[in-house]
Amino acid sequence: MTRVGCRACTNRRRLVKFKSYALAAGLVVAAFTNPVAAADITGAGATFPFPIYAKWAEAYKKETGNGLNYQSIGSGGGIKQIQAKTVDFGATDAPLKGEDLDKSGLLQFPTVMGGIVPVINIPGVEAGQLKLTGELLADIFQGKIAKWSDAKIAQLNPGVKLPDAAITPVYRSDASGTTNVFTTYLSQVSESWKSGLGANTTVSWPVGQGGKGNEGVAATVKQVPNSIGYVEYAYAKQNKIPYALLQNKAGKYPKPDDKAFQAAAAKADWSAAPGFGISLTNQPGDEAWPITAPTFILVYKASENPAQTAEVLKFFAWAYKNGGKLASDLDYVPLPDNVIGMVQDAWAKDIKDKSGAPLFKK
């Protein structure tokens, strides 16, 4: 969110956009409706965590009087806005590499973990009735499997009445960390996907139609019969969109929920990558959901506005301490205490004011 020009006009225009997103996702946006005050913070980026950031912002506003104005515009947009210094923090599901963090002077840290699920709109098929393997999912999004009546799908789903209808894959039209996680998974389970489309925040989708944000994909799947898309689980839950079960690395079909996402993260080594930028896709374990991911925040180590950066850290420190239940209610997984400790150690060590003093003390 830009901090110059007609702020009231800009906020009114963005509020309309926020309300449309919230209606699509079934979310509360009370924390976004007030003018930006001195201690309010601005952020932009990933749509994956928007439901929980909205809940945290609402609760934080009630408790402290300070607000969060967050633009749910996709990870690519969030990275661009923090690099342009038009927001107090950026948000991304596709973690930046160490060299990119160093080049921009950014610190990256995770907030919660969640799962990406295939959502479907097949008349008569309810949540959890349809089973898919990762390879089948890749073939669908490559256009190699074009009908729900395909023998490969039918063989895996005896007793499920599937129509002889064309499949409409629905994908993210914007630069998306959710897409990066989704295509990373597909590259792990499908050689043809890996050698063809690969993993990135945007790919050249061969079939289907696009939707902007998790919100847009969820809304499109709801509207288009015989479609399939991919969204963060909270969007499926909030919008009551049926999801397909997905075979994990152990050959099981766990239900997507916070327990399955936690199982995927059970043996995670958060120190294995700079900025905690690890991958949790296709992890071992009978109960592990195969497309699990953390989501990340980006802030400057030496901010031009250290008071605002300090407020960002206060907000996320509050969320770590008080927001676990709100996260679990939306089937996100709070970070383990030891990881929170590692994150806050990084804040205290690396984020400084203009005099070189730390902005955060544990």
Boundaries of every domain in the chain? 7-113+294-350, 115-291
Residue 220's pLDDT is: 98
Predicted model pTM: 0.86
| Domain 115-291 of CATH type 3.40.190.10 | yes
To the nearest 10°, the Cα dihedral for 43, 46, 49, 51?
Answer: 80
pLDDT of residue 45: 97
* Predicted local confidence at residue 319, as pLDDT: 98
Is the distance from CB of 258 to CB of 326 less than 8 angstroms?
no
pLDDT of residue 3: 37
The pLDDT value recorded for residue 4 is: 35
Does 8 or 175 have the greater pLDDT score?
A: 175
Which one, of 34, 23, 43, 91, lies nearest residue 61 by Cα? 34
> Hey, what CATH topology would domain 7-113+294-350 get?
D-Maltodextrin-Binding Protein; domain 2 (3.40.190)
pLDDT digits (tens, 9 = 90+) for 257-287: 999 999 999 989 999 999 999 999 999 999 9
CB 256 within 8 Å of CB 293: no
pLDDT at 25 over 70: no
* Structure token pair of residue 186: 């597909």
3-state secondary structure of 321: helix
pLDDT at 71 over 80: yes
Q: What value does the mean pLDDT take over residues 351-356?
A: 90
97 CB-side CA count, 13 A: 2
pLDDT at 170 (0 to 100): 98
pLDDT digits (tens, 9 = 90+) for 109-129: 999 999 999 999 999 999 999
Average model confidence (pLDDT) across the chain: 90
Is the pLDDT confidence value at 69 over 80? yes
Helical segments of 29-133, H only: 50-64, 75-83, 98-104
Report residue 174 as tokens: 């914007």
Whether the predicted pLDDT of 10 surpasses 70: no
pLDDT, residue 38, reads 53
Q: Identify the band that residue 7 occupies on the pLDDT scale cut at 50, 70 and 90.
A: very low
CB atoms within 10 A of CB 272: 10
User: 328 or 36, which is more confident?
Assistant: 328
- Of 208, 143, 114, 201, which is closest to residue 170 (Cα–Cα)? 208
Domains 7-113+294-350 and 115-291 share a fold: yes
Torsion from C-alpha of 151, 157, 161, 167, nearest 10 degrees: -60
Phi-psi region of 239 (alpha: psi -120 to 50; beta: other; left: phi over 0): alpha
Q: How many residues does the chain have?
A: 362
